[in-house]
């Protein structure tokens, strides 16, 4: 695995800044104090300075050295309003409306990244995924050459032999019902992310059917998407449509899908929709003893990531490192 050690070394050589939109949350403050102690990733906490410092003191975390930025007292706020109106002019954005929107930490923090004040952003300790991701979609937008922002989870299970089992799953968090072409884009992005974490991708397009055993439009969608992906992503083993057991069990694969390079050995999973994807990664996490890192946003023009509202401080710390290391 690429590993946190490597990411931290990379950040030590080239330190970055990261915005936390929920500057008074104790989990954010704990992670920020750990990052400050490590001296490789500088937190920028969004919030009223007095409130942030009091929250840190009450929770017992030392955040000396962190920058605290309050939208109500930000000296570049007028410039930010102008930039936001320009970015949203096709929506008829007025300065009055922009001021109200930018008073919200999720929009304010995202604009700090857009203006180059910060390198990256991590939010969502209290915001929903939609409320963290929407400002990024509207302000940061997709990378050139991409049509969608998607996401993947990296799942890591420590093994008794010392070698971690690492899997990638996409898209479990953003696109609700991706089309065939969007699934191909999700696969291409998930493959690249999997490689960063040391996975040699073997990609399964998942379904309730294995190579025609079941029928229906959802089966056809996954079969067609897998075929398009095979054509468009050369050099990576891809199979589909596959049921999950055929994807991971060599014994089942021998019966249902003999001769496939992927079946029985898949480590990168493309789900048909957000229902199956979100359930799939959470089952692996809660019942399969995998640690889940993500959602890691893919195809976005700057590194911005979302936390689960159930996250703890260690997860905030880990996701901050992943986010900034991907800059």
Ligand X SMILES: CC(C)(COP(=O)(O)OP(=O)(O)OC[C@H]1O[C@@H](n2cnc3c(N)ncnc32)[C@H](O)[C@@H]1OP(=O)(O)O)[C@@H](O)C(=O)NCCC(=O)NCCS
Within 13 Å and on the Cβ side, how many CA atoms surround 79? Answer: 9
**Rg from Cα positions in the chain:** 21
State which residue, 153 or 205, has the beta carbon closest to ligand X. Answer: 153
Check binding of 67 to ligand X (CB under 6 A): no
Rule CB under 6 A: is residue 138 a binding residue for ligand X?
A: yes
Q: How far is the CB of 92 from ligand X (least distance, A)?
A: 12
Is there binding between residue 278 and ligand X (CB under 6 A)? yes
Q: Which of 48, 67, 142, 318 binds ligand X (CB under 6 A)?
A: 142
Positions in 196-225 near ligand X (CB under 6 A): none
Whole-number Å distance between alpha carbons of 163 and 93: 52
Q: In the bound complex, what is the minimum distance in angstroms from residue 155's beta carbon to ligand X?
A: 14
**Residue of 32, 7, 12, 11 whose CA lies nearest to 21:** 32
User: Which of 7, 31, 148, 319 is close enough to bind ligand X by CB under 6 A?
Assistant: 148
For ligand X, the binding residue among 17, 71, 175, 190 (CB under 6 A) is 175
* Residue 229 engages ligand X in binding (rule: CB under 6 A): no
Please report whether residue 195 would count as binding ligand X according to CB under 6 A. no
Give Cα 124 to chain centroid, integer Å.
11
Task: Please name every residue paired with 157 in a beta bridge, in sequence order, or none if there are none.
Answer: 165
Is residue 8 within the footprint of ligand X (CB under 6 A)? no
User: Which of 7, 52, 174, 253 is in the footprint of ligand X by CB under 6 A?
Assistant: 174
Residue 308 CB, nearest distance to ligand X (Å)? 7
Residues 201 and 195 sit within 8 Å (Cβ to Cβ) = yes
Q: Are 2 and 168 in contact (CB under 8 A)?
A: no
Does position 112 interact with ligand X (CB under 6 A)? The reply is: no
Rounded CA-CA distance 20/123 in Å is: 6
Stretch that binds ligand X, among 40-48, 67-75, 127-135, 281-289 (CB under 6 A): 127-135
CA 18 to chain centre: 15
**Strands lying side by side in the sheet with 165-170:** 238-242, 203-206, 268-270, 165-170, 150-157, 291-298
Minimum Å distance from CB 182 to ligand X?
A: 8
In angstroms, the Cα distances linking 148 to 86, 182, 226, 296 are 22, 7, 18, 14
> Considering only residues 130, 231, 279, 314, which one is a binding residue for ligand X as defined by CB under 6 A?
130
Q: How far is the CB of 148 from ligand X (least distance, A)?
A: 4
Residue 253 sits in the site that holds ligand X (CB under 6 A): no
Task: Based on the shown chain and the rule CB under 6 A, indicate whether residue 83 belongs to the binding site for ligand X.
Answer: no
Q: Please state the closest distance from residue 64 (CB atom) to ligand X, in A.
A: 34
Binding to ligand X by residue 176, rule CB under 6 A?
yes
Can residue 134 be called a binding residue for ligand X (CB under 6 A)?
yes
How far does Cα 101 stand from its chain's mean position?
24
* Both structure tokens of 325: 């290391």
Positions 149 through 168 that interact with ligand X (CB under 6 A): 149
Stretch that binds ligand X, among 29-37, 105-113, 137-145, 194-202 (CB under 6 A): 137-145
Residue 137 in the binding site for ligand X (CB under 6 A): yes
Strands (E), 117-270: 120-123, 150-157, 165-170, 203-206, 238-242, 268-270
Give CA separation, 20 vs 110, 216, 238, in Å.
Answer: 10, 44, 37
Q: Can you give the binding site for ligand X, defined by CB under 6 A?
A: 129-130, 133-134, 137-138, 142, 148-149, 173-176, 274, 278, 295
């Amino acid at each position: 695995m690429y590993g946190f050690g490597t990411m931290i070394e990379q950040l030590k050589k080239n330190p970055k800044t990261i915005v936390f939109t929920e500057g008074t949350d104790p989990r954010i403050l704990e992670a920020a104090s750990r990052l400050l102690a490590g001296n490789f990733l500088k937190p920028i906490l969004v919030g009223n300075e007095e409130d942030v410092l009091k929250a840190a003191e009450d929770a017992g975390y030392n955040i000396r050295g962190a920058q605290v930025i309050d939208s109500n007292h930000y000296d570049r706020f007028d410039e930010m309003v102008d930039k936001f109106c320009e970015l949203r002019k096709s929506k008829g954005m007025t300065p009055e409306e922009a001021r109200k929107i930018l008073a919200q930490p999720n929009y304010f923090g995202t604009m700090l990244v857009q203006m180059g004040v910060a390198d990256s952003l991590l939010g969502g300790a209290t915001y929903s995924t939609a409320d963290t991701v929407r400002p990024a979609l509207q302000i940061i937008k997709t990378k050139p050459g991409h049509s969608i922002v998607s996401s993947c989870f990296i799942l890591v299970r420590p093994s008794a032999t010392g070698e971690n089992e690492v899997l990638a799953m996409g898209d479990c968090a953003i696109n609700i019902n991706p089309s065939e072409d969007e699934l191909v884009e999700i696969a291409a992005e998930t493959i690249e992310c999997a490689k960063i974490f040391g996975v040699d991708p073997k990609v399964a397009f998942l379904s309730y059917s294995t190579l025609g055993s079941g029928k229906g439009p959802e089966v056809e969608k996954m079969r067609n998407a897998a075929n398009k992906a095979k054509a468009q992503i050369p050099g990576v083993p891809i199979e589909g449509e596959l049921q999950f057991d055929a994807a991971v069990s060599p014994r089942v694969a021998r019966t249902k899908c003999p001769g496939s390079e992927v079946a029985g050995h898949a480590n990168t999973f493309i789900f048909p929709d957000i229902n199956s994807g979100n359930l799939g990664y959470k089952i692996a996490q809660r019942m399969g003893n995998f640690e889940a890192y993500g959602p890691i946003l893919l195809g976005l023009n700057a590194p911005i990531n979302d936390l689960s509202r159930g996250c703890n401080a260690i997860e905030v710390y880990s996701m901050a490192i992943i986010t900034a290391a991907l800059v």
